[in-house]
Structure 1
């Protein structure tokens, strides 16, 4: 192989490795192709251009690859592709209800048999056991069944 083919193998191997590390980290396929092209270029360099040129190609490729990895893994480059925000929200666990049985509330909509009730400052979707309750009525929580708050009309 002539020196131009070996130079192109090394160049495209470094381009693929740079793309893997800097632009599209985590794809692995692009990096493996780049590594394969680099290995082929170095091997052909040893075979066709001699061991001294092969050593130069090997050391040069290692230095450039090391610099690419160092530059690509700097924190300011990783922040572009990494999740840096922490989510501190929580999910209401149905095993620990925030509306306890016996809590009183006022209906915001008619319950036919489901609707909206205001418990202090919290709006909740509730259901009855089949009866209709007009809007603005006082209701009491009977319990929570299958993730539904069951209420009854307060007489």
Structure 2
């Protein structure tokens, strides 16, 4: 796995300043996805959603080469994984981007705490020609 690099301040500004002129509503999923997906791809963020950039472990095992009571005896220590913190930051940023484009009527169907969870939930709920989409529409009609 390649090392993740934290957002620069200018990248955060560029992503946050991009305002989409549309929101996801039940009938506009195709248009919404057509606009959001290329934006995420061109900003190297889509890998977080599709799983090609998986969440690193929250902690890592680090071996130190010596201790005071035993010379040169390796010691295993568990430390926070800095790569995990960077991944969480990117993931939260993507969640903000996705949530900022969702209408109030669509927001009631949003579930998930990570960007892949949100993306999959929206896809299951609004993607056309699926059994779950038919079920949701029939339920809404009743």
TM-score calculated relative to the size of structure 2: 0.29
Higher relative contact order, structure no. (Cα contacts within 8 Å, ≥ 6 residues apart) = 2
Higher strand fraction (1 or 2): 1
- Which has more radius of gyration? 1
TM-score calculated relative to the size of structure 1: 0.27
Higher helix fraction (1 or 2): 2
